[in-house]
């Protein structure tokens, strides 16, 4: 009876010990990231990505070591455990190639700097910010806050948004006699849009009067929009400002409003 009780106690100690080891590793990691010496890491998206990959590797390593020690308490020698692990690895190579593909794909993403944590990307029709690149999967958070977990092997075609958004530029003819009113209405309408759709419109608007060119001068407003959410500009913002212009007696129709997407300028 005593050996059995001792064995159960050892299994519990190993399991609890593994948990505390993981807690300590995560605690040390937070101290490094948040501390003064870790400020460079905290500012570097690539370093943060590598950090999370290392943490994922350590988590699996602690788990496998703890599993081996627990199996030893059941009479399985560590040599047999390692041999079994080799057999499992052999089976994985032939029967679970996807797992190996996930690992290799994740490593190539990081080593080649295809994208890093914090980037805005589009993968398989899903658009979101990269929250984590792990050993097996990459996590994306979309504009609604939904979390998508994508196997690394599915990262074959990835679109990266260098600006972290789509910049929508809205142009309207600028009547110099009513320039102040036009710029005010553009700004107020953009701020209202930002307040109404805070997840789709990422930042506060930037309104500026364009320099007079060969044609009529233009008033422009720049809005940073979550990729794929252009409808807030075309269906909500443009009709709204045209309505406001009409109420103020400014004759700018919807057909005179031009929207284009891309960089700022």
Give the per-residue pLDDT at 92: 47
Give the residue ranges of the chain where pLDDT is below 70: 1-5, 32-53, 75-100, 103, 210-215, 263-265
- Alpha-helical regions (H) of the chain: 2-34, 39-43, 45-73, 78-95, 97-111, 179-196, 231, 238-247
Give the per-residue pLDDT at 113: 72
Give every strand in the sheet of 126-133, ordered side by side: 147-151, 137-141, 126-133, 120-123, 158-161
CB atoms within 10 A of CB 81: 17
Give the per-residue pLDDT at 191: 92
Give every strand in the sheet of 258-262, ordered side by side: 206-209, 218-225, 166-173, 258-262
Give the per-residue pLDDT at 135: 72
Supply the pTM of this predicted model. Answer: 0.58
- Separation between Cα atoms, residue 107 and residue 113, nearest integer Å: 10
CA nearest to 221, candidates 252, 245, 186: 186
Give the per-residue pLDDT at 42: 43
Task: Give the model confidence (pLDDT) of 105-155 as tens digits.
Answer: 777 777 777 888 888 998 877 888 988 887 778 889 988 888 988 888 888
Give the per-residue pLDDT at 250: 86
């Amino acid at each position: 009876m005593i050996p059995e009780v001792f064995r159960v106690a050892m299994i519990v100690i190993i399991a609890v010990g593994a948990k505390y080891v993981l807690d300590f590793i995560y605690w040390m990691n937070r101290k490094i990231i948040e501390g003064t010496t870790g400020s460079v890491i905290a500012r570097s998206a690539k370093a943060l990505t590598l950090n999370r990959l290392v943490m994922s590797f350590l988590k699996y390593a602690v788990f496998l070591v703890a599993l081996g020690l627990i199996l030893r308490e059941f009479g399985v020698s560590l040599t047999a455990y390692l041999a079994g692990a080799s057999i499992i690895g052999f089976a994985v190579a032939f029967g679970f190639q996807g797992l190996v593909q996930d690992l290799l794909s994740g490593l190539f993403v990081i080593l080649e700097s295809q994208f890093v944590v914090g980037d805005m990307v589009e993968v398989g029709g899903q658009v979101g910010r990269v929250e984590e690149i792990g050993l097996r999967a990459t996590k994306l958070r979309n504009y609604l806050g939904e979390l998508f977990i994508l196997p690394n092997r599915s990262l074959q075609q990835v679109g990266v948004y260098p600006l972290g958004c789509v910049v929508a530029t809205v142009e309207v003819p600028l009547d110099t006699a009513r320039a102040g009113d036009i710029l005010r209405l553009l700004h107020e309408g953009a701020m209202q849009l930002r307040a109404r759709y805070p997840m789709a419109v990422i930042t506060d608007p930037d309104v500026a009067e364009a320099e007079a060119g060969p044609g009529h001068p233009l008033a422009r407003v720049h809005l940073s929009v979550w990729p794929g959410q252009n409808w807030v500009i075309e269906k909500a913002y443009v009709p709204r400002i045209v309505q406001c212009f009409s109420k103020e007696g400014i004759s700018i129709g919807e057909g005179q409003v031009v929207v284009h997407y891309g960089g700022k300028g």
